[in-house]
Amino acid sequence: MEIGSKVIGIDGGRVVSFRPVGAPIGPEDEQFLLGVYGSTREDELALTNWDEQQRRTFLKMQLDAQHVHYRGQYPAAEYLVILVDGVAVGRLYVAETREEVRILDITVLPEYRGGGIGIAIVKELMPIAGSKGKPLGIYVESFNRSLGLFERLGFVKTAENGYSFLMHWTGAVIGGQ
């Protein structure tokens, strides 16, 4: 893939760039990624009566399992920290398979959402996938507010797995579908 070397301009003269996540994950990235991952589970964890230590233990266990799965299934993927003007604001994991370019995960911390970061990254991935003759795919949970974003960008549901939809963008695929 080639997204990790990109620099993307967004509104307000801000710049999105990336830095790779190490394998194994270093201590500085581990804490940051735990916070990013935890931000996606806040509503769910609010329903528990767990204290802060129990929540952190659970989140770390889940994050570690997720990384083992992603690294095992997609060893050549790009695992990236999203930076805006040099400040870490999220994570992007993306892989190229024989059939598609797959966004494994794109998460922006809540305090940075709504600023055009995610949409700029997805729009940057679209021509990359298209130039490879492949669709751009992502699993989106049916209740995730980003579902509408992907639909507005032209992604369509191609499969359903429980509460997750496999979405694909196939516009401007060169030499492909």
pLDDT-derived band at 176 (thresholds 50, 70, 90) equals very low
C-alpha distances in Å from residue 43, one per residue of 21, 39, 51, 144: 26, 9, 15, 12
pLDDT at 48 over 70: yes
Whole-number pLDDT of residue 1: 64
User: Is the bond leading into 24 cis (omega within 30 degrees of zero)?
Assistant: yes
The mean pLDDT of 57-81, rounded to a whole number, is: 93
Q: How, if at all, do strands 8-10 and 14-20 pair?
A: antiparallel
> What pLDDT score does 44 carry?
85
Measure the CA–CA gap between 84 and 14, rounded to whole angstroms.
7
Cβ atoms of residues 171 and 126 within 8 Å:
yes
Residue 105 contacts residue 63 (beta carbons within 8 Å): no
The per-residue pLDDT for 42 is: 87
13: left (phi over 0), alpha (psi -120 to 50) or beta: left
- Confidence band for 40, pLDDT divided at 50, 70 and 90: confident
Chain segment 8-28, per-residue pLDDT in tens:
999 999 999 999 998 777 888
pLDDT exceeds 50 at position 177: no
What phi and psi, each to the nearest 5 degrees, are found at residue 138? Answer: -160, 145
Bridge partners (DSSP) listed for residue 159? 166
CA–CA distance, 171 with 154 (Å, rounded to integer): 8
So where are the chain's domains? 3-169
Question: How far apart (Å, rounded) are the C-alpha atoms in residues 146 and 166?
Answer: 13
128-149 average pLDDT score: 93
Multiple choice CATH, 3-169, 3.40.630.30, 3.40.50.300, 3.40.30.10, 1.10.10.2520: 3.40.630.30
